[in-house]
Amino acid sequence: MALRKQFIGFIIMMVGLAGCGLVEAPEHSPVPTPVATAVPWDVSQFPAGEMVLDPVSNVVPKVDPLIAGLVESVSQQQLMGYIQMMQSFGNRNVFSVTDDPSFGIGATRQWLVDEFTRVGNGRLQVGIQEFPVYYNGLATTPYNVVATLPGHMESNDIIVVMAHYDNRAPGPTDGETYAPGANDNGSGIALLLETARLLSGFEWNQTIVFLAAAAEEQGTFGSRHFVQTAFLDGTNIIAAINYDAVGGRSGIPQYARLFAPSLRDSPSGELARYYEYIAGLYVPQFPVEVIDALDREGRWGDHREFVNAGMPGIRIIESVEDPDMVNSRTDTWDRIDYNYLQQMVQMNIAVVANLAGAPHTPQTPIIQAMDSPGDFWLRWPTDPDVAGYAISFRPLTEGSFPTFRFVRANQAGNVALTGLDPNTIYAVSVTALDENGRLGDFTPEVIIEPNLASAQAP
């Protein structure tokens, strides 16, 4: 999932519908099966350094008590209060007024700055990003709100959790008509604030950025500006997770949808697999349906700007949308299912805390085929401070993680794996784990072709 130092380019996707505009109700999908939690095995019979097909207690991904406590601390009352406040601003269109203290996009921005500062425990660095927008013959200057929780590792790696705070009435430039925007996207902002409140109480290895983006409704202008700035600054975005319309409603299926383009062979697909796996460890009763697409048909979200720049980006959204609520007066705080939203926030905290709290991403391994078909030799520099490493030999046709191979840290870095199918194309990646079972960011996948004599990561 680590960003490769190559700028692919920015694609302006100005489709006819607004990013959160009306669409037909989606066809109902079967509820996905929850991801199973790994169970530690007694592996005392294995010699030190031998590869193990099942978890070892000191290297297995497992539920960390600290992160589990944060997951349990998510407050429905806090979430409800945040969404009620977002609704109270009346209209959050970027073409609404900016000098009214209680109405419009300007009042919303100032409240977000103040609220991130309040919940940040003195650790959040809160700022704004100014950028221009020209749309339908109109011009304005919106602002992203960016709250940064610095990690204590010296690294340019960051994790971005984002939601757009602007909204709209049916007219894309109407800054006056009442538009409560509770679910779209007060729910995403509530998730950001609650996550920031809980994670800011602790120090983490990796830097976390909470991005409240503006001008999503007109074409993801705010997230595009953030990505361009990050790229020019040399920032390595290891994960960009977009939450948009995640509040749910009473009676909808209890799972989340996750959109990731090119699921089986992209950085976004790697992030999607990680999200599905970690969320399944901590919130197994609330599954994730992973969908191989950038977004819903004809729709968009802020994650697309990260994907267009070659960065790992995914979108999380509720299981079933109500097209009658989108950009309407009926999208109010009292229609949200706060138990549903609470579980969305719990998943986010679990995923982000694991990414931020785990060891640094290892170097991409050098992989060579050995003499016997299906046998491979992996080499990579090791970190003496980690507990162990997880190795993923994923058949390229599979969208989720297979069973991991684990190795103890003191025997890692020069490992032979045997008994793999020599006729299968594999995508191989490695990550480090700490003593608490936190699973880190995976290396970019290396593709191993069938019957390949040798392969080396670029």
For residue 411, pLDDT over 90 is answered with: no
Least confident of 14-23, 80-89, 395-404: 14-23
**pLDDT score recorded for residue 451:** 53
Q: How distant, in Å, are the alpha carbons of 5, 110, 214, 363, 409 from that of 381?
A: 20, 46, 41, 7, 11
**pLDDT score recorded for residue 59:** 72
User: The pTM is what?
Assistant: 0.87
pLDDT in tens, 295-351: 998 888 999 999 999 999 999 999 999 999 999 999 999 999 999 999 999 999 999
**pLDDT score recorded for residue 17:** 38
For residue 30, pLDDT over 70 is answered with: no
Q: What is the DSSP string of 171-226?
A: STT--SS----IIIIIHHHHHHHHHHHHHTTS--SSEEEEEEE---TTTSHHHHHH
Distance of alpha carbon 449 from the chain centroid: 29
For residue 11, pLDDT over 90 is answered with: no
Residue 42 one-letter amino acid: D
- Summarize the confidence of residues 41-64 as an average pLDDT: 51
φ and ψ at 352, to 5 degrees? -70, -40
For residue 5, pLDDT over 70 is answered with: no
- Summarize the confidence of residues 371-395 as an average pLDDT: 91
**pLDDT score recorded for residue 299:** 86
- Summarize the confidence of residues 203-223 as an average pLDDT: 97
Give Cβ neighbours of residue 220 (< 8 Å, ≥ 6 apart): 13, 19, 213, 300, 301, 302, 304, 305
Pick left, alpha or beta for residue 273 (phi over 0 → left; psi -120 to 50 → alpha; otherwise beta): alpha
**pLDDT score recorded for residue 21:** 41
- Select the more confidently predicted residue: 287 or 22: 287
Residue 112 tokens, joined: 């977000």
**pLDDT score recorded for residue 26:** 37
For residue 57, pLDDT over 80 is answered with: no
Query: Residue 114 — pLDDT band, cuts 50, 70, 90?
Result: very high
- Select the more confidently predicted residue: 327 or 7: 327
For residue 134, pLDDT over 50 is answered with: yes
- Select the more confidently predicted residue: 119 or 411: 119
List, as own/partner pairs, every contact residues 110-119 make where C-beta atoms lie below 8 angstroms and the sequence separation is at least 24, other chains included: 111/85, 112/145, 112/165, 112/189, 112/212, 113/145, 115/82, 115/193, 116/145, 116/147, 116/193, 116/196, 116/210, 116/212, 119/193, 119/196, 119/197, 119/200
**pLDDT score recorded for residue 58:** 56
Average pLDDT score over the chain: 87
For the chain, domains (ranges, CATH) are: 38-63+359-458 (2.60.40.10), 73-357 (3.40.630.10)
pLDDT in tens, 59-90: 788 999 999 999 999 999 999 999 999 999 99
**pLDDT score recorded for residue 457:** 39
Residue 57 tokens, joined: 């207690």
pLDDT in tens, 215-252: 999 999 999 999 999 999 999 999 999 999 999 999 99
**pLDDT score recorded for residue 221:** 97
